[in-house]
Amino acid sequence: MAALKIQMFRAQRAEGEVLIKRFSTAERWAHRWIAILTVILLITAALLYIPDFAAVIGNRQLVRVVHEVAGFALPIPILLALFSRAFRDDTSRLNRFKPSDWQWLRSRSRRLGAIPVGKFNAGQKLNAAFSLGWIIVMLATGSMMFFSSHFSDLLRTGATFVHDWLTLAVFVVVLGHIYMAFNDATARAGMRSGSVPLTWAVREHREWAMEESTPVTPPVANEPE
């Protein structure tokens, strides 16, 4: 059945590579704005907590305001994307950890395509879970620090401690995420355009590629529009 489906896709090729839809517009924009806001938060955090960096800007209060606005704005792209059915469907996929995901994590040859992988591999699922977790925790601890007069000294101190150390963990994970993205140009292009080549999908996410039945082929050259 799987081989038959791939043959069906290949039969539909015109002059270019067959593309299949991976991300909706809502998902791509949510990812883009979360990335932008996260970078702003990490840069302003560095400016606030590292004196040598703060001296470069000079206006510490402006940096603090930008950090606070970006922090409170961070959940907005996720909340807006929830109106998209594709986003909700992918959220459900990310929330399911199957036996094959544990097998994928344990395998040293996980990227060779021997283990069937759905739309998201185990590493992407763990990254998504961590991302949602840190956004919630940062929003909670940041709110305690922002509305400090409503909380006890003990809670404010604890919130500051968690906020600071979690920032370091987020920085490390974000660097890892960027590193992985730069090692896969096709995945980056898929996040920008929303579609990926069938050959890449079969190699990296075979189980999901088998589920797909609506290829998106690019227009043939010299074909009237």
What CATH number did the domain enclosing 56 receive? 1.20.950.20
Token pair listed for 195: 């579609």
End-to-end CA distance of the chain: 35
Q: What is the pTM of this model?
A: 0.80
Token pair listed for 156: 């404010």
pLDDT tens, residue by residue, 3-60: 444 444 444 444 457 888 999 999 999 999 999 999 999 999 998 888 777 677 777 8
Same domain for 1 and 81? no
Same domain for 124 and 209? no
d(CA 196, CA 190) in angstroms, rounded, equals 5
Same domain for 43 and 138? yes
In Å, what is the CA distance from 17 to each residue of 26, 28, 127, 178?
A: 25, 22, 30, 26
Eight-state DSSP code of residue 15: S
Token pair listed for 116: 């069937």
Q: Is residue 224 part of a domain?
A: no
Same domain for 161 and 145? yes
Q: Is residue 61 part of a domain?
A: yes
* Helices (H), ranges, the chain: 2-11, 25-49, 51-57, 60-73, 75-81, 85-94, 99-106, 122-146, 153-182, 185-193, 198-204, 206-211
Number of folded domains in the chain?
Answer: 2
For position 164, what pLDDT does the model report?
Answer: 92
Q: Are 122 and 107 in contact (CB under 8 A)?
A: no
Same domain for 113 and 152? yes
pLDDT tens, residue by residue, 158-216: 999 999 999 999 999 999 999 999 988 999 999 999 999 988 888 888 888 888 755 55
Domain interval for residue 208? 1-22+194-218
Q: Is residue 225 part of a domain?
A: no
Same domain for 73 and 157? yes
